[in-house]
Amino acid sequence: MDETTYHRAVLVEEIMELLACKSGDTVIDGTLGSGGHAKRILDATAPGGRLIGIDRDPEARSAAIENLKEYGDRLLISDSRHEELTQVMNSFEVPSVDGFLLDLGISSRHVDSAERGFSFRQDGPLDMRMDPSSELTAADVLNDYSEEELSRTFLEWGEERWAKRISQFVVERRGKTPYESTEQLVETVKAAIPAGARRAAGGHPARRVFQALRIEVNDEIVGLADTVRAATDALNTGGRGAIISYHSLEDRVVKWTLRELKQDQKVAIITKRPIRPSEEEVEGNSRARSALLRVWEKVS
């Protein structure tokens, strides 16, 4: 598969069925990526439908432009964050939409490019920025945050039970040489977590710390509830929203925000429990393993 298309979109059939897009609909994809979901939505909304694709990563936007060029001016692309949904709609003079999608987190392109710094399996610079023009990098967090701030970050965003000890080890190590590479961080995490606990936990020992840093650097959780509310305001009555989360922190925010909106009688929740990918999908795409899909409908 070539560079622009190898990210495989997750839960596509389920999303297409539940979003139920029709000809002429306008839909927002707030995490356009390389356009896997967007392509299916553009096909389902032909003729005449439009898709607003938002992504803050320039490489993702270039891949999407290449992959979706056949759709011409039915595709509108924005380099904003999905948290800025309302401004994006105003800038395209779109007053309301019929569908909304978020496929959260990072793409296979991010994980597989060692130089972006997202991978604990390949050595690279400690970057982790989705938007390379933003200021804070993972190295800045590791080198500049206080021990307490590091511990809070690892605990809150990584649910890492060894957060305190790992932060102590980070502070000790950076006193000798500042952090530059992902491998240096992996070594610190391995040294900080006792071998028995590492074995018992299974999986890669640095997975939670990398998740925490990525969330901190990209400010991934803080604005999510606002996006769900703004998307609901943007939907026409009967319009549907869908969000795929990849860890419990994200899913909790989506679940609680939808509950509040339901209490306010603004939405009906279509998925009582989150939808998970089939075994077959996970076999063909390991990135789908932790996916949780929630769908709602605007009622008033």
Residues touching ligand SAM: how many (CB under 6 A)? 20
Q: Is 214 in the site for ligand SAM (CB under 6 A)?
A: no
Alpha carbon 140 to its chain centroid, in Å, reads 21
Report, in Å, the least distance between residue 198 CB and ligand SAM: 28
Residue 105 or residue 117: which is nearer to ligand SAM going by CB?
A: 105
Q: Please tell me whether residue 54 binds ligand SAM under the rule CB under 6 A.
A: yes
Considering beta carbons, is residue 19 or 186 the nearer one to ligand SAM?
19
The radius of gyration of the chain's CA atoms, rounded to the nearest angstrom, is 20
Measured from the CB atom, the residue of 193 and 291 that comes closer to ligand SAM is: 291
Residue from 18, 81, 33, 54 nearest 294 by CA? 18
Among 21, 42, 128, 130, binds ligand SAM (CB under 6 A): 130
Enumerate residues 178-197 that contact ligand SAM by CB under 6 A: none
Question: Does 107 sit near ligand SAM (CB under 6 A)?
Answer: yes
CB of 55 to ligand SAM, least distance (A): 5
Strand partners, 217: none
β pairing state of 267-269 and 292-298: antiparallel
- Burial environment of residue 265 by CB neighbours within 10 A (0 to 12, 13 to 18, 19 or more): exposed
37 binds ligand SAM (CB under 6 A): yes
Residues 55-84: x where in contact with ligand SAM by CB under 6 A, - otherwise, as a string? xxx--x--------------------xxx-
Residue from the set 14, 15, 18, 36 that interacts with ligand SAM by CB under 6 A: 36
Residue 9 lies near ligand SAM (rule: CB under 6 A):
yes
Is residue 103 close enough to count as binding ligand SAM by CB under 6 A?
yes
Convert 167-193 into a string of H (helix), E (strand) and C (coil).
HHHHHHHHCCCCCCEHHHHHHHHHHHC
Q: Residue 57 or residue 160: which is nearer to ligand SAM going by CB?
A: 57
- 42/46 Cα distance (integer angstroms): 6
Residue with tokens 């909790």: 252
Q: Which helix (H) or strand (E) holds 103?
A: strand 97-103
How many whole angstroms separate alpha carbon 179 and alpha carbon 116?
A: 15
| 31 near ligand SAM, judged by CB under 6 A | yes
CA nearest neighbour of 131 among 84, 170, 97: 84
Query: Alpha-carbon distance 82 to 54, whole Å?
Result: 6
Q: Smallest distance, Å, CB 18 to ligand SAM?
A: 15
- Give the residues lining the site for ligand SAM (CB under 6 A): 7, 9, 31, 33-37, 54-57, 60, 81-83, 103, 105, 107, 130
